[in-house]
Amino acid sequence: MQLNKFNLLAISIIIFISSCAYYNTFFNAKQSYELAQKKRKSTRTNKVSSESRTNYEKTIKKCWKLIDFYSDSSKYADDALLLIGKSHYQLEEYAKSARIFEQFIPKYYDSKLIPEAKLWLARTYVKLDKDILALDLLQNFFEDNKTSKNIASQVFYVLGELYIKSGEKEKAVENLNKCIKITDDDELAGGAQLLIAKNFMELGEFENAIANFKKTRKHYIPVMQHFHSLMFEIDALDSLGQFDKSEILLKKMLSDERFKDQYSIIETKLINTYEFQNAQISFIIDSYRDIIFRYKKTEGAALASFNLAQVFEFDLGVFDSAEYYYGNVKKIFPKTEFVKEAARRKKLLTEYLKIHNQLVQDRQDLTRIAAGDSLTVVSVDSAKKSENSSLAMAEESSDLNTNMETSGVFENKADADNSKRKRPTINKNQVKKKSVKKVVKLRKLEEINISNNKNSYALGEFFLLKYENYDSAEVAFTNYSNKFSDSLLIPKALYSLYYLYTNIYHDSIKSDSIKNVIIADYPNSIYGKNILGIKSDEKAPDLLQIELKKKFNEAEYLLDEQKYDEAIITFLNITEKDSASIWGEKALYATAYTYEKYVQNIDSAVFYYTMLMQEYPGTESAKIAMAKTKEPEPEKNTSIDSLNTSLVIDSTVTVSSDSIKAANFKLPADSISSAGKNIPDSINTKTPLEKDLKNMNVNKIDAEKKGIDKTK
């Protein structure tokens, strides 16, 4: 009897010591997490600081040790696993975080932590752009889960985020106000208030936006939230034309030490405000250069370079300087959001300059020949110009925008289309020009005339199809038609003018005049047949390309509006009409991507990615499709947790069926309709992955379209 009492006492002591060991370890893990959170709130950038990262990683390591020691079936495992998932989320490792929570919910279905796990899984889905899954988790949250006020307030916050993204603004504000009302977390309340203010900004209600941005700063919020709140308020003031108030706020921010790391952005925005107030161009240019010189390798300097490029392109028409500064954006700060747009505009201007420079050379040579030379000498750079010499040439030369081919670009600056202008600028490098070797090439008159003809037409086509400056296109095609009346390209140039007068300017008199010329002089051309309504195997290229581009833009707009069924129909129509140019390829890729990202129909996504690889082999789109559909490689350097699953250390995103199944999470059949997306069943329901991919052709497209149409 005494022995039994001793054994019982010993067991009790062991259990007590074990429990103490667990709680000490878990306390330390939780303390590391809280230290990381505290540092995150005080950090002056959007990045996870090295100190926070270290503490989040300590949390993960300690929690896995607990699970390994006590097993995943112990009463301690759910606390530890939840903290692991939250730490991965804070480290912005959202795929890992989602995987943890997806494991947690079915394994610990009776845990009191289930509501919190569902909340964090929904937050993770938002970061992964899986909004439908997030909404499905949270829409009936309070019916299915009894939870604390703290968790409830966070659920309302995430619902607010989701409804903003889906365009349901009233629901968004309703949920965010509920969050503010019940939460005890001042940071969360401030974040909700910021979302409400941004919501009013998107609606164009700038006065309401400003009032709510001011309310945001009454809460205790992290430094970066405070910064963004002020910058958004400044944008709202600018939209109302209250630039003097913007200037006052920006100057106050420049005297606040908390925003020291953002001074370059603040100064750039201040110069941008002066632009709105029509400050002298020379002052604007010098100011942007000064920012780039003083704040090297910062996001503000990159933004200054982008703005400066826009000044040169849209205000001065100095395209080579604009090209230089667009190219400079990525060199200064590769991660800025304007890198992609800067690269796109640089590419456009590079193409223009190639045409323009050759035209200048052609006309100089023709002038020399007219003076009596039978041959002309062309100086060709044997090496690429340095950026500095290109810049110097741009700023010292004034002939770039005075030639006849660009006269349409800058005639009406007040009425210019500023939709391409992406306002959100550099020190002139004092570098001597490098000496460049020259080689001599002799050109005959016939060769010069051919080049002049080709590039004169190419200029009009560039303005019409790529730069989308219709005034310049009209000027270029009109001049071409007058100067090269016997060219084989005249019907095409006339047809382009006919298109402009009919569809852009709606000038019936000029349109009819051009139409009559085409019918009278070129009735047997594809352009004449098109106007006469005569069936032809060929189509007018200009019209087709413009039509397809417009349709593609329409489809992208439909995506933004969450009208996925209509977007897919439009993309598939483009694919049917065009299989030879870039628009068919882009539309097919967009179809697959829409199924993957928005509709989350993996079989259909795989189907169209596979079709893309077959129809457009070797293209960049096909390479991306191949990467997405390939089987995931065996994971290396993975740590096996006690749930018998491996943590992905460096996973590659694919859309293969196997990789989706590996997530161990099934989307409920009614989840899409419950998300309020209004997607027809033909898109929601998985299209069976065809067994024989060899037969994937336009019949599949027709079948898909018919399936969508039946739902309407």
Contacts 24+ apart (CB under 8 A), 42-51: 42/222, 42/223, 43/222, 43/223, 43/224, 44/223, 44/224, 44/258, 44/259, 44/260, 44/261, 44/262, 45/224, 45/261, 46/224, 48/90, 48/91, 48/92
Residue 642: Cβ-neighbour burial (10 angstroms; 0-12, 13-18, 19+): middle
Q: Is residue 351 part of a domain?
A: no
The pLDDT score that the predictor gives to residue 4 is 60
Residue with more model confidence, 226 or 70:
226
Q: Which residues pair with 438 in a beta bridge?
A: 381
Q: Considering the domain boundaries, does residue 90 fall inside one?
A: yes
User: Angle between the 582-594 and 602-615 helix axes, to the nearest 10 degrees?
Assistant: 160
Report yes or no on 475 lying in a domain.
no
Ranking 209-223, 420-434, 607-621 by mean pLDDT, the lowest is: 420-434
Residue 647 has pLDDT above 50, yes or no: no
User: What domain range includes position 230?
Assistant: 148-247+264-276
Of 677, 683, 679, whose CA–CA distance to 139 is shortest?
Answer: 677
Distance (Å, whole) CA 692 – CA 694: 5
Looking at every residue in the chain, the average pLDDT score rounds to 78
> Which of 260, 261, 287 has its CA nearest to residue 272?
287
Tokens representing 501? 């007068």
User: Which of 277-281, 610-614, 624-628 ranks highest by mean pLDDT?
Assistant: 277-281
Final residue belonging to a domain, choices 100, 130, 147: 147
Q: What is the pTM of this model?
A: 0.66
CA distances from 540 to 268, 464, 554, 573 (A): 46, 14, 21, 18
Residues 569 and 705 sit within 8 Å (Cβ to Cβ)? yes
When pLDDT is averaged across residues 612-623 and rounded to a whole number, the result is: 84
- Paired residues of 440 in beta bridges: 379
Query: Which of 147, 162, 183 lies at the terminal end of a domain, its last residue?
Result: 147
Count other C-beta atoms under 10 Å from residue 705's C-beta.
Answer: 16
- Rounded CA Rg of the chain: 31
Residue 79 has pLDDT above 90, yes or no: no
Residue that wins the pLDDT comparison between 664 and 555: 555
Q: How high is the pLDDT of residue 616?
A: 84
Could you tell me if residue 449 is inside a domain?
Answer: no
Q: Is residue 469 part of a domain?
A: no
Residues 116 and 157 in one domain: no
pLDDT band at 370; cut points 50, 70, 90? confident
Could you tell me if 683 and 594 lie in one domain? yes
CATH number at residue 217: 1.25.40.10
Tell me, yes or no, whether 3 and 130 share the same domain: yes
pLDDT tens for 51-67 read 889 999 999 998 888 88
The arithmetic mean of pLDDT across residues 494-511, rounded, is 92
Tell me the pLDDT band of 44, cut-offs 50, 70 and 90: low
CA distances from 493 to 403, 464, 479, 517 (A): 20, 11, 10, 12
Mean pLDDT of 444-456: 92
Question: Which stretch of 4-13, 75-84, 367-376 has the lowest confidence by average pLDDT?
Answer: 4-13
Q: How confident is the model at residue 227 (pLDDT cuts 50, 70, 90)?
A: very high
Q: Is the pLDDT of residue 442 over 90?
A: no
Residues 199 and 62 in one domain: no
Which distant-in-sequence residues (6+ apart) come within 8 Å of 39 by Cβ?
A: 49, 51, 52, 55
pLDDT at residue number 290? 97
- Residues 134 and 27 both lie in one domain: yes
Amino acid occupying residue 390:
S
Instruction: Provide the domain count of the chain.
Output: 4
Q: Is residue 477 part of a domain?
A: no
- Residue-level pLDDT at 158: 95
123, 155 contact by CB (below 8 A): no
Dist. CA 451–CA 361, nearest whole Å:
10
Is residue 625 one of the residues assigned to a domain? Answer: yes
Least confident residue range of 86-95, 185-194, 577-586, 646-655: 646-655
Instruction: Place 638 in a pLDDT band, splitting at 50, 70 and 90.
Output: very low
Contacts of residue 80, defined as CB under 8 A and 6 or more positions apart, other chains included, come to 26, 29, 63, 64, 66, 67
Q: Which of 10-19, 217-226, 254-263 is the least confident region?
A: 10-19
3-state secondary structure of 646: strand
Residue 283 has a pLDDT of: 97
- What value does the mean pLDDT take over residues 351-374? 88
pLDDT digits (tens, 9 = 90+) for 378-412: 444 433 343 443 333 333 333 334 333 343 343 33
Nearby residues of 321 by Cβ (< 8 Å), 6 or more positions away = 309, 312, 391, 394, 395
Q: Are residues 495 and 630 in the same domain?
A: no
Counting residues of the chain whose pLDDT is more than 70, the rounded percentage is: 73
Average pLDDT over residues 18-37: 73
Q: Which residue has the tokens 């009032």?
A: 211
Average pLDDT over residues 566-584: 81
More confident call, 40 vs 93: 93
Mean pLDDT of 19-44: 74
Which of the given ranges, 43-57, 233-247, 554-568, has the highest pLDDT on average? 233-247
Task: Give residue 308's Cα distance to chain centre.
Answer: 22
pLDDT more than 90, % of the chain: 46
- What confidence score (pLDDT) does residue 678 get? 34
The mean pLDDT value for 165-192 works out to 92
What pLDDT is recorded for position 420? 58
Q: Which residue has the higher pLDDT, 508 or 542?
A: 508
What is residue 354's predicted lDDT score, i.e. its pLDDT? 95
The answer to whether residue 634 scores a pLDDT higher than 70 is no
Which pLDDT band, with edges at 50, 70 and 90, does 491 fall under?
very high
From residue 194, how far is each of 33, 188, 218, 382, 505 by CA, in Å? Answer: 25, 10, 11, 56, 43
Residue 625's pLDDT band, with cuts at 50, 70 and 90, is confident
Looking at the fold, whether 200 and 219 belong to one and the same domain comes out as: yes
Confidence of residue 691 (pLDDT cuts 50, 70, 90): very low
Lowest pLDDT segment from 220-224, 353-357, 674-678: 674-678
The partner residues of 439 in beta bridges, in order of sequence, read 380
Same domain, 100 and 142: yes
| 137 shares its domain with 197 | no
Closest to 352 in 3D by CA, of 459, 453, 451, 438? 459
Q: Does residue 692 sit in the same domain as residue 550? A: yes
Q: How confident is the model at residue 693 (pLDDT cuts 50, 70, 90)?
A: very low
What does the chain come to in residues?
Answer: 712
Whether 570 is in a domain gets the answer yes
> Per-residue pLDDT for 459 more than 90?
yes
Q: Which residue has the higher pLDDT, 521 or 377?
A: 521
User: Which pLDDT value is given to residue 86?
Assistant: 93
Tens-digit pLDDT profile for residues 253-278: 999 999 999 999 999 999 999 999 99
Handedness of CA 591, 597, 600, 604 (dihedral sign): positive
Average pLDDT over residues 173-183: 95
114 and 153: one domain? Answer: no
In angstroms, the CA 115 to CA 120 distance is 9
Q: Are both 8 and 124 inside the same structural domain? A: yes
